[in-house]
Amino acid sequence: MLTTPWFLRRCPAAWCSPSSPWRVPRLALAAALAPAVFAAAALRAEPAPRPPDLQLLQERTTIREGTHWLGVYGRQQDPAQPGVWRIRLWREWSDRVEIGRESIDCRPGQATRAGVSGGRVVVQTLNPGGAINPANRLDHLIWWAACFPELAGRDPATLAAEARRRGFDGQQQERFEVLPGAPTPHP
């Protein structure tokens, strides 16, 4: 639905009279700003269609970026390594969608999350059943959703007993490693 821009809504009698020096500039301003008004409306038109198996893990709203959704989908077991899953990471903002690919190792003693970020390989060793803090909460949310989809979206801080029941001792040291990726060719 289109509405009348604010600068055309109210028109004091002194500005609207045919002899007013402000009448022409107001119309010129309206004509100049009209494309920007329509372009801004087009940016917020339709959200991207979400995959049917998407499990939303986080919804966060900030002043700078608006609303941001994060989820996982496309979970497939690695045929060469039992206990390793490949997932797609869905990051959606109000104006764009980014899709990443990650490998998640769900075996006790080897809980890791590996993906590519900025041309580098990022490997995170996790400690299911261990301490959860703001720095590792998202990593654990993604790991639990990939390894045990029935527990997706639950607070990882409440899953310590479940982790122990599944063979994780909660004593693994968490690490964050950034490895150089394959060099990208210059255009």
| Domain coordinates in residue numbering, the chain | 12-43, 55-180
Burial group, residue 163, by CB count within 10 angstroms (0-12, 13-18, 19+) = buried
| Residue with the two structure tokens 């720095």 | 135
Q: Output the pLDDT for position 42.
A: 43
Report pTM: 0.71
Ranges of the chain with pLDDT below 50: 1, 27, 29-30, 36-45, 186-187
CA-to-CA dists, residue 21 to 8, 24, 32, 69, 162, angstroms: 16, 7, 18, 50, 75
pLDDT reported for residue 36: 47
Q: State the CB neighbour count (10 A cutoff) for residue 72.
A: 27
Q: Quick check: 132 and 140 in contact, CB under 8 A?
A: yes
- What share of residues in the chain are helix, strand, coil (percent, to 5)? 30, 30, 40
* Six token digits for residue 113: 């999350």
